[in-house]
Amino acid sequence: EKRAAFERQQAMWHDIVKHLAEEFSCPISEVGNLLSTTTNQLEQEARIKDFIQVLAIKQVKDLLSPYHHRPPRHEQRDLTHP
């Protein structure tokens, strides 16, 4: 059971790395290394470890975002125009 849970977690982690690499047009190996390093740093500093993966993903996105231009989520609309 522990082995199956570990394998599921590894597969999920790989999917996250792949998604981030595609989103920011970066090599998978670089995103994986960055995410792993960030996760390890957070684990060493954190007292509560429940949300380390979520925080690590956010930090990696924040680090990569200056290198990626994203279109605005919503177009600006003139609300006064009928």
Helices (H) and strands (E) in the chain, counts: 3, 0
pLDDT of residue 69: 55
**Model pLDDT for residues 26-46, shown as the tens digit of each residue:** 999 999 999 999 999 999 998
The larger pLDDT score, comparing residue 72 to residue 65, is at 65
State the angle between helix axes of 2-23 and 28-45 in degrees (0 to 180), rounded to the nearest 10. 120
What does the pLDDT read at residue 49? 87
